[in-house]
Amino acid sequence: MTEFGFIDSIRRLFAELPDNGFEGIGDDCAVLPLGDGTSLLFTADLLTEGVHFLRAATSARELGRKSLAVNLSDIAAMGARPVATLLSLALPADAEDAWTAEFTEGYRELSARYGAALVGGDTTRSAGGITINVTAIGRAPDAHVKRRDAAREGDVVFVAGELGASGAGLRDILAGRYDTPLAAVHRNPEPQVGEGAWLGARSEVHAMMDLSDGLASDLGHILDRSSAGAEVELSLIPVAPGSDLRTAACGGEDYKLLLTADPSAADRLAADYLARFGSPLYPLGRITARPGLVWLRDGRPEPLDWHGFEHF
């Protein structure tokens, strides 16, 4: 079974149980409206040695930062600000005290940068490799919470940064080249924390998520949940220096925000974003009524069998 097939089966199996006021499985975070005009948001991500990282290819400090960064990215993806995290670690006997201390330093660095408290977790021995689980909690005004299901026909699709650097860096790492600039990008994702909260406050932003599995796959989630389609112009995809178009469209772990916006306010949104953050929102195409993702080259449909990557 694929990762997404498994998640779907869990969703169905638990659908009959009480939701206790939560919006549950299916978005970047679970949302709990508190009844005071604000919501709490919850997300969890797991990193396991040998699947998500190689101990020899990353420093413990980088891993500490990354394990938090990928969770903060999910909070930002819904327009919220992080408030707290829980950190659980399974450590084998050969993970030395120095490794753990460095990991904690990296985790603390990013916690301090974004004002997220560490409020709990669990620590245990592992009979296999290192496993890291982070749960992040965010908060936002109810009206700022952006979901994957809110894309509307005619919306402009934007991405909030260049794509493909992380995927190209992963290729370097898997080829044993750990010290390239792209490999460093792969190990050091920057969550768009301020950007996400700012975009959350803009009512012309309809759907939003973060790109962890690649544009081809993740835009598909917005389209599925919004019962819509999209046309994406290949020449508009911002390819990071050193990467290539296919990696930008299908590679994972860029952690840039993907959003759709009201076409009548899209230019203004992009101009304000540029003025605020000094980097562009890149328009990629449009949301269509007809389901499915269509790649265009110079305005003409191009049949491409491109999918994102699944990291289970």
**Total residues in contact with ligand ADP, by rule CB under 6 A:** 9
Is residue 212 involved in binding ligand ADP (CB under 6 A)? yes
CB nearer to Mg ion: give 28 or 49: 28
Is residue 233 involved in binding Mg ion (CB under 5 A)? no
Enter the tokens of residue 2.
Answer: 């694929």
CB nearer to ligand ADP: give 28 or 155: 28
Site track 44-63 with ligand ADP (rule: CB under 6 A), x = hit? -x------------------
In angstroms, how far is the first alpha carbon of the chain from the final one? Answer: 11
Q: Which does 49 bind (CB under 5 to 8 A by kind): Mg ion, ligand ADP, none?
A: none
Residues 110-149 that bind Mg ion (CB under 5 A): none
CA angle 101, 104, 106 (to 5 degrees): 115
Among 10, 34, 271, 274, binds ligand ADP (CB under 6 A): 10
- Residue 141 exposed, middle or buried by CB count within 10 Å (0-12, 13-18, 19+): middle
Is residue 45 involved in binding Mg ion (CB under 5 A)? no
Please state the closest distance from residue 197 (CB atom) to ligand ADP, in A: 17
DSSP 280: P
Is residue 28 involved in binding Mg ion (CB under 5 A)? yes
CB nearer to Mg ion: give 78 or 234: 78
Please state the closest distance from residue 260 (CB atom) to ligand ADP, in A: 17
Alpha helices in the chain (DSSP H): 3-14, 60-76, 97-114, 165-174, 181-187, 193-200, 215-226, 245-250, 266-277
Q: Which of 169, 194, 167, 177 is nearest to 56 (CA)?
A: 177
Q: Which of 94, 96, 88, 98 is nearest to 123 (CA)?
A: 88
Backbone angles phi, psi at 207, to 5 degrees: -105, 150
CA angle 141, 145, 149 (to 5 degrees): 160
CB nearer to Mg ion: give 209 or 281: 209
Q: Binding residue per annotation — 212? A: yes
Q: Which residues are annotated as a binding site for substrate?
A: 52, 253, 309
Please give the residue ranges that form the binding site for ligand ADP (CB under 6 A): 7, 10, 25-28, 45, 74, 212
Which residues of the chain form contacts with Mg ion (CB under 5 A)? 28, 74, 210, 212
